[in-house]
Structure 1
Amino acid sequence: MRPVLVLTHAAHEGPGLIAPALDAPVRVRTVVSSDSPVLPALDEVSGIVVMGGAMDADDDRFPGLDAEKRLLAEAVAADVPVLGVCLGMQLLALALGGELHRRHGTEIGFAPVDVVADDPVHGRLGPQPTVLHWHHDAVSLPPEATLLASTTVTPVQAFRAGSALAVQYHPELEPRMLDLWLATPEMVDGLSDDEIGSIRSDGAKYLPDLAPAARAMVAGFAEQVRARG
């Protein structure tokens, strides 16, 4: 089976529970700062996963993002399964003709999203899952994409565009990964001790139910990956 390409943008924002739930070989690459990144051809991969990061999706200080967006547009056109998470969702939206809205509204912490349309993969999270948010930017819905989930602050929380599923929130989180984030200065910059404590306690409350649902969602994506082979 061809590997799944996982694009990361920060050492602490890896694939988390996504990688083992794929049940497939994984090839992790970080090209965000490269002027001339070398990425595999689409016929070399069975799917693409794009993770989060602190930079803006249109930040020209990180030239590798343009290469990622080109690859994502080509992948959707070629019907290659794609999963975009947080920054990965924003990159996918831009690649497909959506717009980025910088500092649209801050959502950090555990809170529910409203699921507004059926999807065979995203729907495995349930009708109103409580998920971890960690973002300031938002995107518009790309042309011909289907809105899957929303919140008042961030109207586009998840969408489907052909072979691609994109989520603004973080389904990859496991307890150890949350502990890492809460110990990473870049992640908690601007948060008070009380806010950090609240996220930690909410993680203990919500992750036991969220993680199995997230694994089920990734398993649905993995079925699409295996079908490509």
Structure 2
Amino acid sequence: MNNQTEQGEPRGDDAVLVLQHFRSEPPAVYEEILLDRGYRIHRVELDEGEQLPDHHDFAAIVVMGGPMGALDDADHPWLAAERSYIATAVAAGIPYWGVCLGAQLLAAALGSRVYTGRTPEVGTYGVEVTAEAAADPVFAGLPERFTVFQWHSDTFDLPAGARRLVRSELYENQVFAVGSAYAVQFHVEVGRELAAEWASLPSYQRALESLYGEGATARVMERLTETVEGNRRIATEIFSAWMEKFVEQGA
């Protein structure tokens, strides 16, 4: 995959690095927001062997999900280098936005335990903000409870010094932040087109059927499409607030 966008060679303060681990898990709505705000995107497909660039060249780093675990180094040896890269970039103050696997990688990079939870959280679920979210510049404006799309079985312990911002009934740690680094376990970035693409993938279909039985793909995706506009509003609010507070004001 060509890691340049149509906007040209992505270098300088207006470039954002996007790390992907699977072609079908792009930033989606987050990418639309970046392009609308005039940022150029440098996309690296780590699962396809593309190399990590110098993190100093970017205004921010967005790290997306994937089917592997954050510690699956035996099958994906590049994960160790990615965790080290994340730790170095965050320590240098580069704003970080991690989604699902990207959230788990941030937790691991900051020294926390990442492990398989008691039960998978796959489908549409309610989450709620914590008391700490009221003082957070990104999550303060959200309703007390809202609905999101989830697709994970792994979870993580809260890193030292982190602010827990969102929880769910099944998993206490849904969103945390350390400075300008944010970890978001759920997928509010998924729009209708990406949802349809996920529904067409045999590996995703098998995962859903194994969890919820025959016909699960249609049921889960129908529910997602019913809530996709609400997800988009949440994604737009939190990602835009993060950009404004940490990427643009902090530049």
Tell me the TM-score normalised to structure 1 length: 0.92
- Which residue of 2 is the match for residue 227 of structure 1? 249
Corresponding residue SS for 1:129: strand
Identity of aligned pairs, percent?
33
* Greater share of strand: 2
Kindly provide the amino acid, as one letter, of the partner of residue 16 in structure 2.
Answer: V
> RMSD in angstroms over aligned alpha carbons?
1.7
Deviation at 1:151, TM superposition (A): 1.6
Corresponding residue SS for 2:249: helix
**1:87-166, aligned counterparts within 5 Å?**
87-116=101-130, 117-118=132-133, 119-166=136-183
Instruction: Answer whether contact 1:6 1:48 (CA < 8 A) is retained.
Output: yes
- Which residue of 2 is the match for residue 28 of structure 1? 43
Deviation at 1:201, TM superposition (A): 2.2
After TM superposition, which residue ranges in structure 1, 4 or more long, deviate above 6 angstroms? none
Tell me the TM-score normalised to structure 2 length: 0.85
Corresponding residue SS for 1:113: strand
Kindly provide the amino acid, as one letter, of the partner of residue 42 in structure 2.
Answer: R
Deviation at 1:29, TM superposition (A): 0.3
Q: CA offsets, 1:141-191, max 9 Å, x none?
A: 111111111123222111011110101111211011111111111222232
Deviation at 1:125, TM superposition (A): 4.3
The 1-side partners of 2:43 and 2:87 are apart by: 19
Number of equivalenced pairs: 227
The 2-side partners of 1:65 and 1:227 are apart by: 31
Which stretch shifts more, 205-214 or 42-51? 205-214
Q: CA offsets, 1:181-220, max 9 Å, x none?
A: 1111122223234322222221232112221221121111
Instruction: Answer whether contact 2:127 2:169 (CA < 8 A) is retained.
Output: no
The 2-side partners of 1:105 and 1:33 are apart by: 30
Instruction: Answer whether contact 1:56 1:102 (CA < 8 A) is retained.
Output: no
- Which residue of 2 is the match for residue 172 of structure 1? 189
- Which residue of 2 is the match for residue 11 of structure 1? 23
- Gaps (5+ residues) in structure 2? 1-12
The 1-side partners of 2:141 and 2:76 are apart by: 34
Corresponding residue SS for 2:226: helix
The 2-side partners of 1:123 and 1:63 are apart by: 38
- Gaps (5+ residues) in structure 1? none
C-alpha distance 228-26 of structure 1, shift in aligned 2 (>3 A): farther
The 2-side partners of 1:73 and 1:148 are apart by: 21
Over alpha carbons, which structure has the higher Rg?
A: 2
